[in-house]
Amino acid sequence: MSNFQTDSQNDLSASENTTRNTLDPSDWQSLREQGHRMLDDIIDHMSALHDKPVWQPIPQVKRDLFTEPLPHGPSSLASAHQRFMEDVLPYSVGNASPGFMGWVQGGGSPVGMLAEMLASGLNANLGGRDQMPLEVERQILHWMRELFHFPESASGLFVTGASMANMISVLVARNRILGQSVRRQGLADSPKKLVAYTSAGAHGCIMQAIDLCGMGTDYLRVIELDDQYQMNLVQLKQTIDNDRAQGLTPFFIAGSAGTVDVGAIDDLDAIADIAAAENLWFHIDGAFGAMAMLSKKIAPRLKGIERADSIAFDFHKWLQVPYDAGFIIVRDGSLHHDTFASPATYLRRETRGLAGGSPWPCDFGPDLSRGFRALKTWFTIKVYGADKLGSIIDKTCDLAQYLKTKIEAQSELEMMAPVALNVVCFRYLGKNNITADQLNETNADIVADLHESGLVAPSATSINGQIAIRAAMVNHRIEQRNVDILVEQVLRLGRLKLKD
Ligand SMILES: *Cc1c(COP(=O)(O)O)cnc(C)c1O
């Protein structure tokens, strides 16, 4: 009897229930068959992404399907899968689609998807203990040390994403400047008032990290950008001097390797010089940009990254690993360890047996239970190879240049920021003079209309107070024809709206 075919076949007999109460099926063969159907369906979906809308509005009746009360009885696996296929899959955000250029999101890959299935089947908990999955995570750390030219003593940890990775860096930097006693005494007892620095181009999660770490966002100095959208280093220097003159303690500076708005790379080498001279922790938010170390063309522009004290980045963006897979690498591994390690008795370490293999990942961050994010990352790097992944990064940057050329050839369109990497900010300008408000409204409308068309999905951002259409080329599936569609549709919608 199958536990998985239809709702009516789900009742286990009373005797079976008493002898064998488990979540495993009584009939593995029908599970296998249903599993193969599920695998086929998701591979069919992936292979046909080109023909599907990037996004479509969710009908209210579909939303309402997910407000049912807690189901006390079972359903068949087949019927739950059918619900997924009909009610969930068609209404996702579409970041796997070739028309998706919104925000900075990776497209995932078939290899990563299959690896995630294996990881889930193994159900490894990577908080610690002596197990091979941790060697896979350490292999990734090993590769990242090599990529960023970090020493053997550098530590690293998988986390949800760059937001969490950036926060961890703030905590390690705090311990460096205040010493281990801050873990017991907190910030309030310290005579030092800490100040951090970043640029106006930094991601919002830097400010959030300063907030969450209890330092107060009033103590994050947001340094202005220069005309290349890089941190203004003259202002940085002056601000540090002013803060010192007021008796404050500068401790942390976050540079950006690929800003979220326009893809600018700070002058990392120059920031490293300032950090060294001023005894500041030099952190880099390289959420997507750090992976450009895999591109022979772009890597030289990241010069200085090898001097960072810590780098936060994501495998789920430019490296196309399925969500989520963020990472933090810290040059001083023992300081990183001492920031988080705790002596809980139930986490006692041994020299042999399962409780061996110390230090454990839970000694390097706030998570105890952790999934096997390393496996999908390992499969991605192993199967495609670093060079191929680097070529995808180059391809997306080439597409950004292609889009820029097309925009510059159209008098009705205007570039809004330089194209440093893979992000293009532009707007529809029209043929006649209209007010700034009208322009903002028109461009915001164009973006929303594009989303609803399902053809292509850029996002909107604001650059110096002006709304820009922002196309971030991250997804490996974007092709020139998707860029052509973007330009055609922006022109069509803009002309329609302004009656040009
Ligand atoms: C995406 C991004 C982040 C946040 O990363 P998550 O993985 O979403 O937490 C931080 N900084 C930059 C520059 C980003 O692009």
Counting from 1 in the atom list of ligand 1, the atom nearest the Cα of 166 is 10
Distance 473 CA to ligand 1 centre (A): 15
Maximum CA pair distance of the chain?
Answer: 81
Adjacent-strand bridge partners of 313: 327
Q: Residue 60: which of 87, 40, 92 has the closest Cα?
A: 87
Which residue, by CA, sits nearest to atom 5 of ligand 1?
Answer: 162
Say what the pLDDT of residue 102 is. Answer: 94
Work out the pLDDT band at 9, boundaries 50, 70, 90. Answer: very low
Counting from 1 in the atom list of ligand 1, the atom nearest the Cα of 205 is 10
Return all residues near 343 (Cβ < 8 A) that are at least 6 apart. none
Say what the pLDDT of residue 343 is. Answer: 80
Best residue among 158, 206, 260, 310 to mutate for probing ligand 1, ranked by most atoms within 8 Å of CB:
260
Lowest model confidence (mean pLDDT) among 2-6, 194-198, 319-323: 2-6
What distance in Å separates the CA atoms of residue 169 and residue 212, rounded to the nearest whole number? 12
Say what the pLDDT of residue 107 is. Answer: 97
- Ligand 1 neighbour 470 (Cβ under 6 A): no
Given a cut of 60, whether residue 8 has pLDDT beyond it is no
Say what the pLDDT of residue 3 is. Answer: 47
With b for 16 or more beta-carbon neighbours within 10 A and e for fewer, the 207-233 pattern comes to bebbeebebeeebbbbbebbeebbbbb
Say what the pLDDT of residue 432 is. Answer: 85
- Helix ranges (H only) for 230-287 are 233-245, 268-278
Average the pLDDT over 427-446 and give the result.
94
- Ligand 1 neighbour 162 (Cβ under 6 A): yes
Distance 187 CA to ligand 1 centre (A): 27
Which residue, by CA, sits nearest to atom 14 of ligand 1?
Answer: 287
Mean pLDDT, the chain, integer: 95
- Ligand 1 neighbour 283 (Cβ under 6 A): no
Say what the pLDDT of residue 20 is. Answer: 85
Average the pLDDT over 248-256 and give the result.
98
Say what the pLDDT of residue 339 is. Answer: 97
Instruction: Name which residue leads in pLDDT, 499 or 232.
Output: 232
* Structural domains for the chain: 116-384 (3.40.640.10), 388-498 (3.90.1150.170)
Distance 268 CA to ligand 1 centre (A): 18
- Ligand 1 neighbour 287 (Cβ under 6 A): yes
370 and 127 Cβ atoms separated by less than 8 Å = yes
Given a cut of 80, whether residue 51 has pLDDT beyond it is yes
What distance in Å separates the CA atoms of residue 11 and residue 7, rounded to the nearest whole number? 8
Q: Residue 412: which of 499, 494, 485 has the closest Cα?
A: 494
Say what the pLDDT of residue 296 is. Answer: 96
Say what the pLDDT of residue 346 is. Answer: 82
Distance 214 CA to ligand 1 centre (A): 21
Distance 287 CA to ligand 1 centre (A): 5
Return all residues near 486 (Cβ < 8 A) that are at least 6 apart. 101, 403, 450, 456, 458, 471
Strands 423-428 and 466-472 come out as antiparallel
Structural Rg of the chain based on CA atoms: 25
Given a cut of 90, whether residue 6 has pLDDT beyond it is no
Give the global pTM.
0.95
Counting from 1 in the atom list of ligand 1, the atom nearest the Cα of 256 is 13
Counting from 1 in the atom list of ligand 1, the atom nearest the Cα of 324 is 7
205 and 159 Cβ atoms separated by less than 8 Å = no
Give me the percent of the chain exceeding a pLDDT of 90: 91
Give me the percent of the chain exceeding a pLDDT of 70: 96
Say what the pLDDT of residue 489 is. Answer: 98
Tell me the two tokens of residue 71. 């189901």
- Ligand 1 neighbour 161 (Cβ under 6 A): yes
57 and 92 Cβ atoms separated by less than 8 Å = no
What distance in Å separates the CA atoms of residue 368 and residue 380, rounded to the nearest whole number? 25
Best residue among 105, 168, 198, 205 to mutate for probing ligand 1, ranked by most atoms within 8 Å of CB:
205
Instruction: Name which residue leads in pLDDT, 7 or 43.
Output: 43
Work out the pLDDT band at 21, boundaries 50, 70, 90. Answer: very high
- Ligand 1 neighbour 206 (Cβ under 6 A): no
Lowest model confidence (mean pLDDT) among 244-258, 279-293, 341-355: 341-355
Q: pLDDT tens, 105-154?
A: 999 999 999 999 999 999 999 999 999 999 999 999 999 999 999 999 99
E strand map for 274-420: 281-285, 310-314, 326-330, 413-415
- Ligand 1 neighbour 201 (Cβ under 6 A): no
Say what the pLDDT of residue 19 is. Answer: 64
